[in-house]
Structure 1
């Protein structure tokens, strides 16, 4: 039976009214499992109006009480973890353990955001001038919005919404059209936890809904995660309309393997980081950079052996290492990149094209693909493929490896595997990438540090989660105070000084 999905506005699920629909597929079978209402002006306007009406009362609630509501929400998410994970896996295609990890990394940020009373503290200076005190306040922006991608349908919406809500804002989420059910369910759990009607809304849609959020003056800030071209568009459009924007784009994450590295450990790390979630992660390692011929030959042999043992299967199959990609168009795009790698002269060691899974022949399957002898002028190196494709780019020495990582247009994440502390320290200091792992293949920071890439991977001054999230979702007000002492000095026409 094909379900119909609408929106979540003013504390309730509502049907779509635009007459426009999208289709939500089961990636394992290739079949349509839901019809999704695509919002037009009426639904977006209703969500914004409801958020604007509800926000002042939510902001007036003290931060500690808002934090308690977020902790109740965490409890509800944990209680419903199995349901959420199965729902997520059914629409995205990632395995159940990976789906649980998606949700868990999201609620870690909610737990951090519950510490809002400390994070919202301002500053105070006693006797900044003669009889004058100065203090600052952090106040919410009002109505803010998040536009989030298909690959983390729980984690990224939680990364965006929890700090915004903790800071006293109302939030409108525009999730991906490909896997909208988990965001809608999270909205219900926010309400059950005690978030007032109108404070958290979900509006499903496409570019039409996005543009309405970007252009409406009542929406004060936009957070986005997705591809670089769209990140650039949203950042520029938001700025043109006087909004704050925090936009994260594509990635091409390298992992450097020095000759002294533990190659067994490095190979295992590459397999997990390169092929987990079918490579549909912005922090997936898609480029291995072994230093020296001997290191490269030994590493490639270990990778070939491990790739052949990988099992691709249904998301709910406990034996599956990873599942299908999210859509038929994604499968077609990835297979096109594999062919371009062959055409441009890379050595194809494992070919993921043409894979079928028994009983699910119409699913969106792409097997693990491994290239050797990839060069930096090839499309499979330059572009973000967003699939289970790992490229080995051989470096002659450490400096060449460092340049490869630093000169790529994307600067999201990078890793180095070595036993040499001096080399690791030098690499972390000099590499031109926003997030660095040392013997850690996917260096996603924990919730109380910030997440963000450099160059074409990130647009905006402030990163996701950590203290930056509260800076992004609040505005600073500075108050200068003097109480009358009974001594009148008359009017002064001199610019006030601090002394």
Structure 2
């Protein structure tokens, strides 16, 4: 077993993770990870992964065969018994080791993200760091797993313990190739479950590197398995009887399908879906800070975040700030992900670019003012890239298609209202509920907003209020299906079930026998 490292070993990390195997093709193929080994798929159908900046085919991803899916599930089921009985201290130690391994290999992970997903390098590192924070928090798993105890009668105790569910599945989106697997993998594993992970077929490289790192730090064979594909793979993960729970992050149609199918088959399911996040700007807000915050939150990552700030609601005279916001957006640099100083890179695919461009045009056709049109952006070095520059629409109304649908691109819709009451009504009427923010220097207005707004995550002078993993990701309304949220204590609850035990040990039966042990006990 080799040790992964930083820059000079990054290509080794990717090759060992299966990204550069060949099957008589000139293009690399991505392997499966089954029972602790990278396996060349016997698939007859493959999906090309394109570099969004160049359209170069980076790798080919298999549509995992039925037999391979069966082998992965069988491996996870076989591994569960011993893994679930592994001590909490041993699982905690593996989280600490995984934490170190990820930190040592952030360059390899980030380069994979840039190449396959299109993020700029700094944002790719942010993707990894936010996922790593979940690993960090799960290193504190003993506290999360503590039960309760009460002496309910003489010599009789009732207490609870948390136990793992069994085999669980994770289905990840394209927009966070490292963070989304790390929302699922560490929480599932440290609580004693085994995992079938399906990364996005558009950018699987980061997940494959994470699988290699799990193997390197000593996660037993079968505890983590990685499969690929689209509809058939998803249907297997949501219906196979061995799988007890499914975590999903992605779009509305797929998420509803996953949730309905999983729950119909008796599984737990947590599903994060679409979003339409609002920032309400009051006239008393700090102007420079607010405009900088909105610009970064709206256009960073090319708008391909479920928590991207896609609607700015200007209250009263705050609307006079919009020209300054446009100038900030105009100054952002669109480029390939590896270029120094790039603020945003390409969108994931030509289809995503086309859809976002059409939604911009639909707004113009419906009467919105196009203050900044990013559809014409050109990046000289990457003439074939899926580039959409920062785009600002003004005088958008709630009946426009660009407002009703998630654009998932670097497009900001500006809405004008007269009062905070109107702003709250607008946000609360929207079917999505991931996040909402308010920018103000008034404590009273902030308090009213955070109390009355119907969104799962609220920011006060914070544009993207994603909570750190000691809390949980708490989207609501149409942005979430399920009962228990991702990571933090909610995540631990999702991947475990309570067992309640009542025991009677009578005093009169107590006997003392044998020799006392004087050595320090050892945990295994």
Fold shared per TM-score above 0.5: yes
Offset from partner CA, 1:138-178 (integer Å, 9 cap, x none): 00001001001000010010011111100000011111000
Gaps in structure 2 of 5+ consecutive residues: 1-25, 510-524
Give me the whole-angstrom Cα distance separating, in 1, the residues matched to 2:377 and 2:449.
39
- Correspondence list, 1:265-276, <5 A: 265-276=289-300
Aligned counterparts, 1:79-228, within 5 A: 79-126=104-151, 128-228=152-252
| Aligned counterpart for 2:302 among listed residues 266, 269, 278 | 278
Instruction: Kindly report which structure 2 residues correspond to 1:264-343, keeping only aligned pairs within 5 A, or say none.
Output: 264-292=288-316, 294-297=317-320, 299-343=321-365
Q: How far is 1:17 from its partner?
A: 1.4
The Cα of 1:422 is off from its aligned counterpart by 1.0
Shift of 1:486: 6.8
Partner of residue 518, structure 2: none
> 2:372 is matched with which residue?
350
Aligned residue pairs total 484
* Whole-Å separation in 1 of the counterparts to 2:167 and 2:49: 29
Q: How far apart are 1:484 and its partner, in Å?
A: 4.7
1:405 to 421, 427, 433: 427
The residue aligned with 2:402 is: 380
Does the 8 Å contact 1:248/1:452 carry over to 2? Answer: no
Q: Deviations over 1:110-147 (max 9, x none)?
A: 11111111111111001x13432101110000100100
- Cα distance in 1 for residues equivalent to 2:142 and 2:299: 40
SS at match of 1:394: strand
SS of 2:384's partner is: coil
Partner of 1:420: 442
Q: Deviations over 1:392-422 (max 9, x none)?
A: 0111111000111111000001100000011
Aligned equivalents of 1:431 and 1:40: distance in 2?
Answer: 46
Match of 2:93 in 1: 68
Three-state SS of the structure 1 residue aligned to 2:318 is: helix
Among candidates 480, 483, 494, match of residue 502 of structure 2 = 480
Aligned pairs (5 A) from 1:257-268: 257-268=281-292
1:367 to 354, 379, 389: 389
Paired residues of 1:143 and 1:218 also in contact (CA < 8 A) = yes
The one of 452, 455, 466 equivalent to 1:433 is 455
Residues 55, 169 of structure 1: 8 Å contact kept:
yes
Deviates further, 225-234 or 252-261? 225-234
CA contact (8 A) 1:51 1:170 kept: yes
- Give, in whole Å, the separation in 2 of the partners of 1:419 and 1:460: 36
Confirm or deny: 8 A CA contact 1:258 1:418 kept in the other structure: yes
Deviations 1:231-268 (A, max 9, x none): 12111111110000001100000000011001111110
Instruction: Give the secondary structure class of the aligned counterpart of 2:238.
Output: helix
The two structures, once aligned, show a CA RMSD in angstroms of 1.1
Distance in 2 (alpha carbons) for counterparts of 1:486 and 1:109 = 48
Residues in 1 aligned to 2:293 and 2:195: alpha-carbon distance in whole angstroms: 37
Equivalent residue for 1:233? 257
Aligned partners of 2:323 and 2:372: how far apart in 1?
Answer: 12
Q: Tell me whether 1:37 sits opposite 2:62 in the alignment.
A: yes
Q: Distance in 1 between matches of 2:486 and 2:507?
A: 46
- TM-score, reference length from structure 1: 0.96
Task: Tell me the residue number matched to 1:491.
Answer: none
Match of 2:269 in 1: 245
